[in-house]
Amino acid sequence: MPITYWEEDNYCRYQVRVCRHGKRYTKTFNCAAGKRKALKAAQQYEQRLLEILDTDPMTSAGRSKSNRNRSASFKPFVETNSQYGTKYIAVSYRREDGQWKRVSYAIKKHGREKATQMAIKAAKKLHTPHPERVSKKRMPTQSTIAAELE
């Protein structure tokens, strides 16, 4: 990572960040003694770190995965279009090649119940292996989805 320069009002600093195998090494150098001295100290620190640490940072495929549940292939949720404030019931599903696709139904046009029914119907039509696995945080109404899945 490059050396970052921060400047706020009457305060400036250089920050060195190096990430190796999931661990981030960070150090900040204040410009109170002078910008050139701070930059030189930051460059020296970066060189020392690069000499000590492995030269190969972990690739993006090797980085630790997030804790999100990625096994669900069907997730109905309420989505808002930020530009106009329109609300949708959206269904995200994973295709066989691993890519996520989304189908959405407008609540204003179809109504909440019908949009939810259409989302569940779309999930069944797409032959999702686990339509009962839904995101509990972002569900439109639990009772509606539970009734439709029975």
Q: What residue segments make up the domains of the chain, in order of their start?
A: 4-57, 74-149
Q: What is the pTM of this model?
A: 0.39
In tens, the pLDDT along 119-149 reads 878 877 765 555 445 444 443 454 555 555 4
In tens, the pLDDT along 81-127 reads 656 777 888 877 766 676 777 788 888 899 888 888 888 788 777 65
CATH T-level topology, domain 74-149: Double Stranded RNA Binding Domain (3.30.160)
CA separation for the pair 26, 150 (Å, rounded)? 53
CA separation for the pair 112, 90 (Å, rounded)? 11
CA separation for the pair 2, 17 (Å, rounded)? 7
